[in-house]
Structure 1
Amino acid sequence: MITGLYETHIQVSDLESAIAFYTEILGLKLAHRDETRPIAFLWIGKEKQAMLGLWEQKENLQPRHFAFSADENDILQYSVDFLKNRNLKPYNFLKDGIEKPMVFAWMPALAIYFKDPDGNQLEFISILEGEGKPELGVISYEEWVLKTKN
Protein backbone atom coordinates (compact mmCIF):
# COMPACT_ATOMS: atom_id res chain seq x y z
CA MET A 1 0.00 0.00 0.00
CA ILE A 2 2.68 2.55 1.00
CA THR A 3 5.15 3.36 -1.78
CA GLY A 4 7.07 6.30 -0.32
CA LEU A 5 6.92 9.56 1.60
CA TYR A 6 5.24 12.31 -0.37
CA GLU A 7 5.47 15.36 1.88
CA THR A 8 6.72 16.75 5.12
CA HIS A 9 6.00 20.04 6.91
CA ILE A 10 8.20 22.24 9.05
CA GLN A 11 7.81 25.38 11.12
CA VAL A 12 9.63 28.54 10.04
CA SER A 13 9.91 31.89 11.81
CA ASP A 14 9.42 34.02 8.70
CA LEU A 15 7.61 32.60 5.69
CA GLU A 16 9.08 35.07 3.16
CA SER A 17 12.64 34.32 4.27
CA ALA A 18 11.99 30.58 4.29
CA ILE A 19 10.52 30.64 0.78
CA ALA A 20 13.59 32.58 -0.39
CA PHE A 21 15.95 30.10 1.31
CA TYR A 22 14.34 26.98 -0.10
CA THR A 23 13.78 28.37 -3.61
CA GLU A 24 16.76 30.67 -4.19
CA ILE A 25 19.40 28.86 -2.12
CA LEU A 26 18.36 25.21 -2.46
CA GLY A 27 16.51 25.42 -5.77
CA LEU A 28 13.07 24.09 -4.82
CA LYS A 29 10.08 25.39 -6.77
CA LEU A 30 7.16 27.23 -5.17
CA ALA A 31 4.04 25.10 -5.73
CA HIS A 32 1.38 27.06 -3.86
CA ARG A 33 1.07 29.83 -1.32
CA ASP A 34 -2.03 29.97 0.83
CA GLU A 35 -3.10 33.61 0.92
CA THR A 36 -5.49 33.03 3.84
CA ARG A 37 -2.81 31.85 6.27
CA PRO A 38 1.01 31.87 6.46
CA ILE A 39 1.68 28.58 4.64
CA ALA A 40 3.56 27.74 1.46
CA PHE A 41 4.19 24.48 -0.38
CA LEU A 42 7.30 23.73 -2.43
CA TRP A 43 8.01 20.97 -4.92
CA ILE A 44 11.00 18.78 -4.13
CA GLY A 45 12.55 17.41 -7.30
CA LYS A 46 10.15 17.06 -10.20
CA GLU A 47 6.80 18.81 -9.92
CA LYS A 48 4.27 16.71 -7.99
CA GLN A 49 6.95 14.15 -7.02
CA ALA A 50 7.36 15.30 -3.41
CA MET A 51 6.46 18.36 -1.38
CA LEU A 52 7.67 20.46 1.53
CA GLY A 53 5.21 22.54 3.53
CA LEU A 54 6.42 25.69 5.30
CA TRP A 55 4.26 26.89 8.20
CA GLU A 56 5.09 30.24 9.76
CA GLN A 57 5.24 29.98 13.54
CA LYS A 58 6.27 33.12 15.39
CA GLU A 59 6.89 31.48 18.78
CA ASN A 60 8.05 28.13 20.13
CA LEU A 61 9.58 26.83 16.92
CA GLN A 62 10.22 23.10 17.00
CA PRO A 63 13.10 22.33 14.62
CA ARG A 64 12.78 19.11 12.65
CA HIS A 65 14.98 16.86 10.57
CA PHE A 66 14.43 15.58 7.06
CA ALA A 67 16.60 14.42 4.17
CA PHE A 68 16.65 15.26 0.47
CA SER A 69 17.46 12.38 -1.86
CA ALA A 70 20.53 13.14 -3.90
CA ASP A 71 22.86 11.39 -6.31
CA GLU A 72 25.84 9.63 -4.73
CA ASN A 73 28.35 11.37 -7.01
CA ASP A 74 26.76 14.77 -6.41
CA ILE A 75 27.10 14.28 -2.66
CA LEU A 76 30.71 13.14 -2.98
CA GLN A 77 31.87 15.71 -5.49
CA TYR A 78 29.68 18.79 -5.07
CA SER A 79 27.67 18.87 -1.85
CA VAL A 80 30.25 20.50 0.42
CA ASP A 81 31.09 23.23 -2.11
CA PHE A 82 27.38 23.64 -2.96
CA LEU A 83 26.63 24.33 0.70
CA LYS A 84 29.66 26.51 1.41
CA ASN A 85 29.02 28.61 -1.71
CA ARG A 86 25.59 29.36 -0.22
CA ASN A 87 27.03 30.25 3.21
CA LEU A 88 25.76 27.02 4.76
CA LYS A 89 27.94 24.94 7.06
CA PRO A 90 28.15 21.27 6.08
CA TYR A 91 28.69 18.73 8.83
CA ASN A 92 28.63 14.99 9.17
CA PHE A 93 26.50 12.87 11.47
CA LEU A 94 29.31 12.60 14.03
CA LYS A 95 29.60 16.41 14.25
CA ASP A 96 33.35 15.95 14.58
CA GLY A 97 34.34 19.02 12.57
CA ILE A 98 35.05 17.07 9.40
CA GLU A 99 33.09 18.58 6.53
CA LYS A 100 32.82 15.40 4.50
CA PRO A 101 29.92 13.06 3.80
CA MET A 102 29.80 9.91 5.92
CA VAL A 103 28.35 6.45 5.37
CA PHE A 104 25.68 4.93 7.59
CA ALA A 105 26.93 1.39 7.10
CA TRP A 106 23.76 -0.33 8.31
CA MET A 107 21.72 0.99 5.34
CA PRO A 108 24.19 1.67 3.57
CA ALA A 109 23.76 5.37 2.75
CA LEU A 110 25.99 8.38 2.13
CA ALA A 111 24.96 11.62 3.85
CA ILE A 112 25.96 15.19 4.65
CA TYR A 113 24.04 17.58 6.92
CA PHE A 114 23.35 21.32 7.13
CA LYS A 115 20.79 23.61 8.77
CA ASP A 116 18.24 26.06 7.46
CA PRO A 117 17.97 29.56 8.99
CA ASP A 118 15.45 28.28 11.58
CA GLY A 119 17.65 25.44 12.79
CA ASN A 120 15.88 22.63 10.96
CA GLN A 121 18.43 19.89 10.38
CA LEU A 122 18.58 19.08 6.67
CA GLU A 123 20.44 16.31 4.92
CA PHE A 124 21.47 15.18 1.46
CA ILE A 125 21.35 11.37 1.35
CA SER A 126 21.99 8.66 -1.22
CA ILE A 127 21.39 4.96 -0.72
CA LEU A 128 24.51 3.03 -1.72
CA GLU A 129 24.72 -0.22 -3.64
CA GLY A 130 25.29 -3.44 -1.72
CA GLU A 131 24.35 -4.90 1.61
CA GLY A 132 24.43 -3.01 4.86
CA LYS A 133 27.18 -3.69 7.38
CA PRO A 134 25.84 -2.48 10.75
CA GLU A 135 29.00 -3.57 12.55
CA LEU A 136 30.91 -0.76 10.79
CA GLY A 137 28.79 2.01 12.31
CA VAL A 138 29.18 5.47 10.75
CA ILE A 139 32.37 5.71 8.71
CA SER A 140 33.99 7.79 5.99
CA TYR A 141 33.20 6.99 2.38
CA GLU A 142 36.83 6.03 1.84
CA GLU A 143 36.67 3.50 4.69
CA TRP A 144 33.40 2.15 3.30
CA VAL A 145 34.98 1.56 -0.11
CA LEU A 146 38.03 -0.15 1.43
CA LYS A 147 35.98 -2.41 3.71
CA THR A 148 33.43 -3.44 1.08
CA LYS A 149 35.68 -3.93 -1.97
CA ASN A 150 35.60 -7.72 -1.77
Structure 2
Amino acid sequence: MEFSVLYEAHLVVRDLQASARFYESILGFTPALATPDVRFYWTGHDRRHMFALWQLKPDDHEPRKHTGPDVSTWARSHLAFHLALPDFWIAIENLKRCGIEVRGFDGETDEPSVHTWVPALSVYFPDPDGHALEFISVLDEQPRLSLGVISWSEWNRMNA
Protein backbone atom coordinates (compact mmCIF):
# COMPACT_ATOMS: atom_id res chain seq x y z
CA MET A 1 0.00 0.00 0.00
CA GLU A 2 1.26 3.47 -0.88
CA PHE A 3 -0.15 6.77 0.36
CA SER A 4 0.39 9.33 -2.35
CA VAL A 5 -1.22 12.47 -0.88
CA LEU A 6 -2.98 13.68 2.22
CA TYR A 7 -6.64 14.09 1.31
CA GLU A 8 -7.77 16.44 4.07
CA ALA A 9 -6.69 18.36 7.15
CA HIS A 10 -8.67 20.22 9.82
CA LEU A 11 -7.87 23.22 12.04
CA VAL A 12 -9.77 24.59 15.03
CA VAL A 13 -9.96 28.39 14.85
CA ARG A 14 -11.06 31.05 17.34
CA ASP A 15 -12.83 33.22 14.76
CA LEU A 16 -14.33 31.19 11.92
CA GLN A 17 -15.45 34.24 9.93
CA ALA A 18 -12.02 35.92 9.98
CA SER A 19 -10.29 32.65 9.13
CA ALA A 20 -12.74 31.94 6.31
CA ARG A 21 -12.06 35.37 4.78
CA PHE A 22 -8.29 34.72 4.93
CA TYR A 23 -8.39 31.25 3.39
CA GLU A 24 -10.85 32.33 0.69
CA SER A 25 -9.59 35.80 -0.27
CA ILE A 26 -5.85 35.54 0.49
CA LEU A 27 -5.11 31.88 -0.25
CA GLY A 28 -7.89 31.43 -2.80
CA PHE A 29 -9.39 28.22 -1.40
CA THR A 30 -12.66 27.21 -3.02
CA PRO A 31 -15.59 26.80 -0.60
CA ALA A 32 -17.08 23.31 -0.62
CA LEU A 33 -19.45 23.39 2.40
CA ALA A 34 -20.33 26.12 4.89
CA THR A 35 -22.24 25.77 8.14
CA PRO A 36 -22.25 28.09 11.17
CA ASP A 37 -19.53 25.98 12.82
CA VAL A 38 -17.38 24.60 10.00
CA ARG A 39 -16.09 25.54 6.55
CA PHE A 40 -14.78 22.95 4.11
CA TYR A 41 -12.61 23.96 1.15
CA TRP A 42 -11.23 22.35 -1.96
CA THR A 43 -7.52 23.16 -2.10
CA GLY A 44 -7.05 21.83 -5.62
CA HIS A 45 -9.10 21.96 -8.78
CA ASP A 46 -9.72 18.23 -8.91
CA ARG A 47 -11.64 17.80 -5.61
CA ARG A 48 -8.92 15.47 -4.36
CA HIS A 49 -7.63 17.72 -1.59
CA MET A 50 -9.76 19.17 1.18
CA PHE A 51 -9.21 21.52 4.09
CA ALA A 52 -11.59 22.41 6.94
CA LEU A 53 -11.86 25.12 9.58
CA TRP A 54 -13.84 24.44 12.76
CA GLN A 55 -15.10 27.10 15.16
CA LEU A 56 -13.64 26.82 18.65
CA LYS A 57 -16.30 26.14 21.28
CA PRO A 58 -14.59 26.14 24.70
CA ASP A 59 -17.78 25.06 26.49
CA ASP A 60 -18.39 22.10 24.18
CA HIS A 61 -17.42 19.07 26.26
CA GLU A 62 -19.90 16.60 24.84
CA PRO A 63 -18.47 13.34 23.53
CA ARG A 64 -17.75 13.63 19.83
CA LYS A 65 -20.58 12.23 17.76
CA HIS A 66 -18.62 12.70 14.55
CA THR A 67 -15.06 12.31 13.43
CA GLY A 68 -14.14 15.99 13.46
CA PRO A 69 -11.56 17.55 15.76
CA ASP A 70 -12.06 18.39 19.42
CA VAL A 71 -13.52 21.90 19.19
CA SER A 72 -13.32 22.54 22.94
CA THR A 73 -9.60 23.34 22.79
CA TRP A 74 -7.33 25.35 20.52
CA ALA A 75 -3.72 24.47 19.79
CA ARG A 76 -1.34 26.14 17.36
CA SER A 77 -0.83 23.85 14.38
CA HIS A 78 1.46 23.75 11.36
CA LEU A 79 0.36 22.92 7.81
CA ALA A 80 2.36 23.05 4.59
CA PHE A 81 0.79 23.51 1.17
CA HIS A 82 2.77 22.28 -1.85
CA LEU A 83 3.00 24.52 -4.90
CA ALA A 84 4.77 24.11 -8.23
CA LEU A 85 7.85 26.36 -8.27
CA PRO A 86 6.38 29.09 -10.55
CA ASP A 87 3.23 29.21 -8.38
CA PHE A 88 5.37 29.35 -5.24
CA TRP A 89 6.83 32.72 -6.25
CA ILE A 90 3.43 34.07 -7.30
CA ALA A 91 1.91 32.98 -3.98
CA ILE A 92 4.65 34.75 -1.99
CA GLU A 93 4.10 37.98 -3.90
CA ASN A 94 0.36 37.68 -3.31
CA LEU A 95 0.90 37.28 0.44
CA LYS A 96 3.15 40.33 0.53
CA ARG A 97 0.65 42.41 -1.48
CA CYS A 98 -1.98 41.47 1.12
CA GLY A 99 0.28 42.60 3.97
CA ILE A 100 1.12 39.07 5.15
CA GLU A 101 4.66 38.74 6.49
CA VAL A 102 6.57 35.74 5.15
CA ARG A 103 9.60 34.29 6.88
CA GLY A 104 12.28 31.73 6.22
CA PHE A 105 12.77 28.72 8.48
CA ASP A 106 14.85 30.68 11.00
CA GLY A 107 12.11 33.31 11.33
CA GLU A 108 14.66 36.11 10.99
CA THR A 109 14.48 36.78 7.27
CA ASP A 110 11.84 36.96 4.57
CA GLU A 111 14.08 34.99 2.21
CA PRO A 112 12.79 31.47 1.46
CA SER A 113 14.65 28.57 3.01
CA VAL A 114 15.74 25.29 1.45
CA HIS A 115 15.31 22.08 3.43
CA THR A 116 18.30 20.41 1.82
CA TRP A 117 17.43 16.84 2.81
CA VAL A 118 14.36 16.93 0.49
CA PRO A 119 15.32 19.40 -1.14
CA ALA A 120 12.39 21.80 -0.94
CA LEU A 121 12.01 25.56 -0.97
CA SER A 122 9.72 27.03 1.69
CA VAL A 123 8.38 30.11 3.42
CA TYR A 124 6.30 30.40 6.58
CA PHE A 125 3.49 32.78 7.48
CA PRO A 126 0.68 32.99 10.05
CA ASP A 127 -3.03 32.71 9.49
CA PRO A 128 -5.31 35.09 11.44
CA ASP A 129 -5.54 32.58 14.26
CA GLY A 130 -1.78 32.12 14.69
CA HIS A 131 -1.46 28.75 12.98
CA ALA A 132 1.93 28.33 11.26
CA LEU A 133 1.39 27.90 7.54
CA GLU A 134 4.02 27.03 4.96
CA PHE A 135 4.25 27.16 1.20
CA ILE A 136 6.64 24.50 -0.05
CA SER A 137 7.95 23.53 -3.47
CA VAL A 138 10.01 20.39 -4.01
CA LEU A 139 13.12 21.09 -6.06
CA ASP A 140 14.60 18.90 -8.81
CA GLU A 141 18.17 18.88 -7.45
CA GLN A 142 19.66 16.04 -5.44
CA PRO A 143 19.30 16.11 -1.63
CA ARG A 144 22.25 17.28 0.45
CA LEU A 145 21.56 15.77 3.84
CA SER A 146 24.44 17.33 5.75
CA LEU A 147 23.52 20.95 5.01
CA GLY A 148 20.33 21.19 7.08
CA VAL A 149 18.23 24.24 6.28
CA ILE A 150 19.89 27.03 4.32
CA SER A 151 18.77 30.18 2.54
CA TRP A 152 17.59 30.17 -1.06
CA SER A 153 20.52 32.39 -2.05
CA GLU A 154 23.02 29.95 -0.47
CA TRP A 155 21.37 27.04 -2.29
CA ASN A 156 21.61 28.92 -5.60
CA ARG A 157 25.31 29.71 -5.06
CA MET A 158 26.02 26.02 -4.41
CA ASN A 159 24.08 24.90 -7.50
CA ALA A 160 25.38 27.56 -9.90
Return the TM-score normalized by structure 2: 0.83
Does residue 12 of structure 1 match 2:13? Answer: yes
Equivalent residue number for residue 30 of structure 1 = 31
Runs of 4+ in structure 1 deviating by more than 6 angstroms, as ranges, are: none
Q: Once the 2 structures are TM-superposed, how far is the Cα of residue 73 of structure 1 from its aligned partner?
A: 3.0
Secondary structure of residue in 1 paired with 2:39: strand
User: What's the % identity of the aligned pairs?
Assistant: 37
Secondary structure of residue in 1 paired with 2:4: coil
Equivalent residue number for residue 49 of structure 1 = 48
Secondary structure of residue in 1 paired with 2:79: strand
1:93-108 to 2 correspondences below 5 Å: 93-96=105-108, 98-108=109-119
Contact 2:112 2:123 in 1 (8 A): yes
Q: Deviations over 1:36-82 (max 9, x none)?
A: xx11101102141211110110444211101111122333x434432
Q: Deviations over 1:115-147 (max 9, x none)?
A: 001001001100000221011111122221222
Contact 1:80 1:99 in 2 (8 A): no
Secondary structure of residue in 2 paired with 1:21: helix
Q: What 5-or-longer segments of structure 2 have no aligned partner?
A: 59-72
Does residue 88 of structure 1 match 2:100? Answer: yes
Question: Which letter does structure 2 place at the counterpart of 1:117?
Answer: P
Match of 2:125 among 114, 132, 139: 114
Question: Which letter does structure 1 place at the counterpart of 2:86?
Answer: N
Aligned-pair Cα RMSD in Å:
1.6
Equivalent residue number for residue 77 of structure 2 = 64
Does residue 132 of structure 1 match 2:133? Answer: no
Q: Kindly tell me the number of residue pairs found equivalent between the two proteins.
A: 145
Q: What 5-or-longer segments of structure 1 have no aligned partner?
A: none
Secondary structure of residue in 2 paired with 1:110: strand
Equivalent residue number for residue 142 of structure 1 = 153
Contact 2:26 2:94 in 1 (8 A): no
